[in-house]
Chains A and B, each alone.
Chain A
């Protein structure tokens, strides 16, 4: 009887630990798995340098997404927004040199505010709003770019300056430190500021928070603006990495970002979350596709594995006591 109780308690503790740390646990399992499967190449310094160059774009996007999801919202436009931001940044850099990155930051912030305003003031669900802006932005990018890419190296001809600084920030270690810095700032915003606290509260019970005086509509608009800011940074990092802005930049990335958020244990219903765990979730996704390649498995299996990872992670970790109703 006593023993039974003890065993039950241990089991409960373990379950609780698993629920709270699913991001770390799944990352650890993936690393061990691919270490065995793909051999020592996987654990080489070269490969981890590669991984840490792959991580930042999706990691930063996912960090931004965590803010939207914590409110109970979603932003499906981040991939397209990243594409358009990269395009304007590349043009700006070509024409004005380094200061041109401002275009890359401002564009997605404006898009974020528009998303937020449509959602908050017109009360169009964020899913619908951002699904619409996603396709619109991508189409606009196609139209204005005429389908052709912009190479930042071309800028040298007009400005007479090399754009090495930008390609440099796309490389290890700079790119990784940028991501880490963004992570720390995001963590502080999320956990230490009134904005972060109110965001979580709104995700849990919007009615009560607004009852006590918080202006919901500007707040929601600001949340999407903040998401846009993270998109901007991700767009610049991506531009540095790729060296060009193409019409497909960022395509499908919103799904990776959302997957990372979910892997990080943030419920899509809002009210809870962690940007650090989101970042670890993004790392899991990168490790997964990297490991699959190294293990010599056909890349098409990558998405199968990704999907399965999501399902398993949520099945194991979704705190059904906290969430109450699963929709």
Chain B
């Protein structure tokens, strides 16, 4: 059972016009692990994760989820098969309230057409409690009016609310305060305890060492290292990120 591979990427390539964002990237995600993905700005981390989340489709290469090849790259399908992602840009509809953003694409209904606000409110409160976010006074206000950290909490909440197989977090703590960051790290460990497999993108190597089981290093669109955390020192990691 140990080291069962849940997600496996093989020779993934992606280019945007003349820019080669990813070149033959391969890696595995082991079931129930926390895999940290590190690399310099523009290395291709977000692009790789967006392919896994179904936002982008790769030009080349293949992705196997639970041993099955993924043919169709779209967010809806990926979410249906249990992959949630916290986007670096949060992907919130800011003129809408927090519950809408939490339930986007999955609005609960009464009689098939009416929005079930009670259900939404309950779950949103639960999720915010889980993230220890206590500062949101008006749950039904537009997320426009939220602070950057509160908005980030909503984006994280959306990914963890559904208790899925794979949760991808693209720099989830970038806008968060010290306490909220602690809480998100706690939540990530909790997700792991509940059986999810997690991919965490972070520039904070301290966090990476604290949370990760394994580390994937991306440099200039290529995977340069994929190692157990214990097998690499922080100095080696930094040089892998910068020189490869």
Listed in ascending order, the chain A residues whose CB lies under 8 Å from chain B are: 192-195, 197-198, 200-201, 203-205, 208-209, 211-214, 271-272, 322
Give Cα A212 to B109, complex, Å: 17
Contact, CB under 8 Å: A204 / B75: no
Contact, CB under 8 Å: B95 / A197: no
User: Which residues of B (62-118) have their CB < 8 Å from a CB of A?
Assistant: 74-76, 79, 91-96, 100, 104-105, 107, 109, 113-115
Contact, CB under 8 Å: B95 / A272: yes
Q: Which of A198, A211, A272 contacts B55 (CB 8 A)?
A: A211
Contact, CB under 8 Å: B115 / A209: no
Q: What 13 additional pairs, Cβ within 8 angstroms, besides A197-B100, A197-B115, A204-B93?
A: A192-B115, A193-B113, A195-B113, A197-B107, A201-B93, A201-B95, A201-B96, A205-B95, A208-B93, A209-B104, A212-B105, A213-B74, A214-B105
In the complex, what residues of A have CB within 8 A of residue B55's CB? 211
Q: Which of A193, A213, A271 contacts B79 (CB 8 A)?
A: A213
Closest 8 pairs (CB-CB, A-B) = A204-B95, A212-B105, A213-B76, A271-B95, A213-B105, A205-B93, A201-B93, A212-B104
1/0 per residue, CB under 8 A from A, across B160-197: the answer is 00000000000000000000000000000000000000
- When C-beta atoms are compared, the residue in chain B nearest to A195 turns out to be B113
Give Cα A213 to B78, complex, Å: 10
Give chain B nearest CB distance to A319 CB in angstroms.
11
| B204 contacts A by Cβ under 8 Å | no
Contact, CB under 8 Å: B96 / A200: yes
Given A204-B96, A208-B93, residue A213 in contact with residue B75 (CB < 8 A): yes
Contact, CB under 8 Å: A208 / B92: yes
Q: Which of B74, B93, B109 contacts A209 (CB 8 A)?
A: B93
Contact, CB under 8 Å: B115 / A193: yes
Give Cα A99 to B237, complex, Å: 78
Contact, CB under 8 Å: A205 / B114: no
Give Cα A195 to B111, complex, Å: 13
14 contacts between A and B (CB under 8 A): A194-B109, A194-B114, A197-B96, A197-B107, A201-B93, A201-B104, A204-B95, A205-B95, A208-B92, A212-B76, A212-B91, A213-B76, A213-B79, A214-B105
Give Cα A189 to B92, complex, Å: 23
Give Cα A198 to B107, complex, Å: 9
| B144 contacts A by Cβ under 8 Å | yes
Contact, CB under 8 Å: A193 / B95: no
Chain A contact residues: helix, strand, loop or mixed: helix
Give Cα A211 to B114, complex, Å: 22
Give Cα A193 to B100, complex, Å: 12
Give chain A nearest CB distance to B235 CB in angstroms.
39
Contact, CB under 8 Å: A192 / B114: yes
Contact, CB under 8 Å: B75 / A211: yes
- When C-beta atoms are compared, the residue in chain B nearest to A204 turns out to be B95
1/0 per residue, CB under 8 A from A, across B132-162: the answer is 0000000000001000000000000000000
Give Cα A213 to B107, complex, Å: 12
Given A204-B96, A209-B93, residue A193 in contact with residue B114 (CB < 8 A): yes
In the complex, what residues of B have CB within 8 A of residue A213's CB? 74-76, 79, 105
Give chain A nearest CB distance to B147 CB in angstroms.
15
- When C-beta atoms are compared, the residue in chain B nearest to A207 turns out to be B91
Give Cα A41 to B197, complex, Å: 75
Contact, CB under 8 Å: A205 / B105: no
Given A194-B107, A197-B107, residue A208 in contact with residue B115 (CB < 8 A): no
Contact, CB under 8 Å: B91 / A208: yes
In the complex, what residues of A have CB within 8 A of residue B92's CB? 205, 208
Give Cα A192 to B91, complex, Å: 24
